[in-house]
């Protein structure tokens, strides 16, 4: 199958760890906007962004909820930041069977960032006065498979094609020549 380059818009939130002060306003805003009814409650367990906080080392890492994973991954590494060791899961955005993070507390359903599509832009970015979260949109070119539409054949072309398949094109041409000569 052939492919062609198409332009797509990519939306993302860029996280600047150097600026995050660990205030957790992003968690509160996200949980409030996703409460039912909207803004009726604040519960960080419902937030699609969670901040891993190490107060001792002044390290704050906002993690944004990504796709649900049916299976827990098997290869796990540890990260050492400022002398403190974190498991790989600490910085993973997936909701997966091996932990409770990014799960709706009442139903257990996985949570995923929707970029606040129903609002006028990501709420977490709006409330982050430290500018640790920056919303970005950019166009990228991606390869996409193209399905070429088969040209619809007319009834006459379909009939000719079946005759050619049956007798061969030369016999069909000879017959047409004979018929046109007789008609003169
Ligand atoms: S609102 Fe901004 S500064 Fe505060 S915890 Fe979230 S990302 Fe960090
Ligand atoms: S963009 Fe919206 S849904 Fe995603 S983490 Fe921020 S507030 Fe939550």
pLDDT higher than 60, residue 152: no
Minimum CA distance residue for ligand 1 atom 8: 20
User: Residues 91, 61: contact at Cβ < 8 Å?
Assistant: yes
**Inter-CA distances, 61 with 13, 90, 119, 164, Å:** 13, 9, 25, 70
Query: Residue 132: its pLDDT value, please?
Result: 97
CA–centroid distance, 23 to ligand 1, in Å, is 5
Query: Residue 175: its pLDDT value, please?
Result: 83
Domain extents for the chain? 3-145, 153-184
What mean pLDDT comes out for the span 30-47? 93
Nearest-atom number in ligand 1 for the CA of 21 is 3
**Inter-CA distances, 68 with 5, 29, 44, 142, Å:** 29, 22, 19, 24
The alpha carbon of 160 is separated from its chain's Cα centroid by a whole number of angstroms, namely 48
Task: Write the pLDDT tens digit of every residue in 70-121.
Answer: 888 877 788 887 788 888 888 889 988 888 899 998 888 999 999 998 778 8
102 ligand 1 Cβ < 6 A: no
CA–centroid distance, 49 to ligand 2, in Å, is 6
**In this structure, what token pair is assigned to residue 112?**
């995923």
* 95 bridge partner residues: 68
pLDDT higher than 90, residue 156: no
**In this structure, what token pair is assigned to residue 86?**
């974190």
pLDDT higher than 70, residue 31: yes
62 ligand 1 Cβ < 6 A: yes
pLDDT category of residue 54 using cuts at 50, 70 and 90: confident
Cα gap 34→106, rounded to integer Å: 13
**In this structure, what token pair is assigned to residue 27?**
């968690």
Q: What CATH class has 3-145?
A: alpha beta
Ligand closest to Cα of 15 equals 1
């Amino acid at each position: 199958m052939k492919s062609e380059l198409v332009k797509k818009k990519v939306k993302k939130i860029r996280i600047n760890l150097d600026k995050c002060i660990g205030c957790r306003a992003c968690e509160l805003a996200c949980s409030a906007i996703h409460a039912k009814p909207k803004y009726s409650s604040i519960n960080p367990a419902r937030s699609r962004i969670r901040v891993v906080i190490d107060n001792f080392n002044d390290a704050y890492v906002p993690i944004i909820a990504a796709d649900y994973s049916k299976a827990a991954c098997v290869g796990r590494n540890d990260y050492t930041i400022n002398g403190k060791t974190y498991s790989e899961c600490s910085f993973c955005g997936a909701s997966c069977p091996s932990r409770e993070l990014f799960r709706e507390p009442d139903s257990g359903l996985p949570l995923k960032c929707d970029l606040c599509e129903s609002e006028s832009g990501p709420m977490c970015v709006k409330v982050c006065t430290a500018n640790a979260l920056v919303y970005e949109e950019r166009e990228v070119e991606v390869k996409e498979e193209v399905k070429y539409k088969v040209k619809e054949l007319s009834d006459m072309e379909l009939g000719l094609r079946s005759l050619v398949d049956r007798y061969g094109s030369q016999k069909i041409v000879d017959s047409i020549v004979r018929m046109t000569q007789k008609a003169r």
